[in-house]
Amino acid sequence: MYVEAIFFSLIIGWIRGGKIRRFKNIINWTIWLLVLGVLLQYILTYLGKTEEMEVISKLLEYSKGIEIFSYILILIGILTNIRFRSFWPVLFGYLLNFIVLMANSWQRPNLLYNPITSETKLPFLGDIILFSEPYPLPKIISLGDLIIAFGIFSLIQEIMLGEDSIMGGYRL
């Protein structure tokens, strides 16, 4: 969902007259912590689906620790760049995802992989929103993921449009 948010936001920002060069205003070392945290989560997600190799199985033994570490990196990246209003929904979405993980022993409730049972806590925060075919990239996401995607879309718009924004001008 994040890839789609980035792609469409760049296109819409460009159509609205936004400038990609404005991204240089946000590049700092803490944004790389955010990117590293997100990459770690993507890697864990895809490795979790392919447990066939012994090396991957050993790495997955530490997945809880790696996931907690990734959330810490993401939190640092968000909080140090909170001057952008659009990071607030991103922070809120990550907090929702973090809460559901903590409540369910680091297992995200998922309609396909980790079934929702009567013991599942906060099932409405799990991966319950289904994007199936004919959607080109079928997936199941959570409410937190949807809010994060909205925040990413808004952040790109905020940065690309800067003071040219119809909304009264964002300051970078």
Q: Which tokens belong to 168?
A: 């009264």
Q: How confident is the model at residue 14 (pLDDT cuts 50, 70, 90)?
A: very high
133 in any annotated domain: yes
58 in any annotated domain: yes
Q: How confident is the model at residue 3 (pLDDT cuts 50, 70, 90)?
A: confident
Dmax over CA atoms of the chain, in Å, equals 55
53 in any annotated domain: yes
DSSP for the chain, written as a single string: -HHHHHHHHHHHHHHTT--GGGGGGT-SHHHHHHHHHHHHHHHHHHHHT---SHHHHHHHTTHHHHHHHHHHHHHHHHHTTTTSTTHHHHHHHHHHHHHHHHHTTT---BSSSS---TT-SSGGGSEEEEE-TTSSS-EEEEHHHHHHHHHHHHHHHHHHHGGG-TTS----
- Which domain, by its residues, includes 109? 2-163
Inform me whether the pLDDT recorded for 166 exceeds 50: no
Q: What pLDDT digit, counting tens, does each position of 121-154 carry?
A: 988 888 888 888 888 877 888 899 999 999 999 9
Burial (CB count <10 Å: 0-12, 13-18, 19+), residue 115: exposed
171 in any annotated domain: no
pLDDT the model gives residue 163: 60
pLDDT the model gives residue 56: 61
Q: How many domains does the chain have?
A: 1
Contact 4, 146 (CB under 8 A): no
158 in any annotated domain: yes
121 in any annotated domain: yes
Q: How far apart are CA 106 and CA 48, in angstroms?
A: 13
Q: What pLDDT digit, counting tens, does each position of 60-73 carry?
A: 667 778 888 988 99
44 in any annotated domain: yes
**Residue 39 CB neighbour total at 10 angstroms:** 12
Q: What pLDDT digit, counting tens, does each position of 70-118 carry?
A: 889 999 999 988 888 899 999 999 999 999 988 988 877 887 777 778 8
Contact 129, 147 (CB under 8 A): no
169 in any annotated domain: no
Q: How confident is the model at residue 58 (pLDDT cuts 50, 70, 90)?
A: low
